[in-house]
Amino acid sequence: MNDENGIIRWSTDLSVNSPTLDLHHQILIGCLNRLYAIGGAWKQCLPAVRRELWQILGYCRIHFHVEEQAMAKAGTPAAILENHKKIHRNIITKMRASWDSFEQAPTRFPFDETLRFLRLWLLKHVREEDQESYGALMRGNRLVEDDIGRIRYADVAKKLNMKGRQGMDATLRGARVLVVEEVMDLRVLFQRVLQEHGAQVSSTKSVLEANTTIVAALPDLVLLGWSMDGATAFARELYQNHGVPVIAATFEPLDKVVEACDLVGIAHVLLHPASAADVARVAQETVAGLVPMRALLADQQDARYRAAYA
């Protein structure tokens, strides 16, 4: 399950027999893996460490909320559910303390110790407490699975009063967006849509050009053509060193790109062919910054699925 850098590979021995809750656990493991990938360079990557800690804390709250609903719906005995909720609360308390300690003194943050703690609770909690308390109840439980599959992560985040990067009501108004796209038609489309939503847009045709642009002033958001030369390294740098969220725009099928995007901290994926509404929605969701990429994509696919079978 693990390689030498500490990276955790999700495998079925971590499954709780629920595709939705398995995805949640994979998303959390993804956050942890990005911290492992940063490793010894963490002091040079404080924006990325900050983002992952914030995202783990926030996404855990979303996950626990959904998981507790699933457990209740699946008929978990009350005493077991109560005990499980208590464990969740303790984990949140500990993670909030980690977040506070990072915010107070980022360079003195106990990075390795925090990573050990996160790894321990994440794997132990999933493998022991999650699997043991509800794994069997969720096996083949289509009713509960469909129920929790309908929950939108962005709605849970709002319900839990979670704050995104720019508060609750993030809009594109005034946001400085850099479009990096070699295909002229796409560049024009992105620019037009984002400007219509009040963003200040600049654009470049290449990553090389974009590199010089961001030296002068960091944008709030980058929309990046994913197949361009140097795109991956550019995205990684924006994520690790600058804390700028990046949307990868791609013609590839999602399952071909999602792993690589996840590992370099891509904030969202825009799948072509994209309508003007898709561009605006993806940009808005990214600026809101409430929900991790793979959860946003799951919401989007569920919406498509629901629309197709309505």
- Give residues in contact with Fe ion (CB under 5 A): 67, 130
**Burial of residue 151 (number of CB atoms within 10 Å: 0-12, 13-18, 19+):** middle
Q: How far is the CB of 126 from Fe ion (least distance, A)?
A: 6
Q: How far is the CB of 25 from Fe ion (least distance, A)?
A: 6
Closer residue to Fe ion (CB): 67 or 181 = 67
Q: How far is the CB of 169 from Fe ion (least distance, A)?
A: 30
Closer residue to Fe ion (CB): 101 or 131 = 131
Q: How far is the CB of 16 from Fe ion (least distance, A)?
A: 7
Closer residue to Fe ion (CB): 38 or 91 = 91
Closer residue to Fe ion (CB): 89 or 116 = 89
Side chain identity, residue 179: V
In the chain, which ranges are continuous DSSP H helix?
19-38, 46-73, 78-104, 111-124, 136-138, 142-149, 153-159, 184-196, 207-216, 231-237, 254-263, 276-288, 293-309
Q: How far is the CB of 245 from Fe ion (least distance, A)?
A: 26
Q: Which two tokens stand for residue 178?
A: 């850099």
Q: Which two tokens stand for residue 50?
A: 């900050």
Q: What are phi and psi of 103, to 5 degrees?
A: -65, -35
Rg (alpha carbons) of the chain, rounded to whole number: 20
Q: How far is the CB of 206 from Fe ion (least distance, A)?
A: 43
Residue in 191, 196, 163 with CA at minimum distance from that of residue 178: 191
Question: DSSP assignment, residue 2?
Answer: B
**Burial of residue 178 (number of CB atoms within 10 Å: 0-12, 13-18, 19+):** buried
Q: Which two tokens stand for residue 102?
A: 């990072």
Q: How far is the CB of 149 from Fe ion (least distance, A)?
A: 16
By beta carbon distance, the residue nearest Fe ion is 130
Closer residue to Fe ion (CB): 60 or 258 = 60
Closer residue to Fe ion (CB): 95 or 246 = 95
C-beta atoms surrounding 83 within 10 Å: 13
Closer residue to Fe ion (CB): 52 or 67 = 67
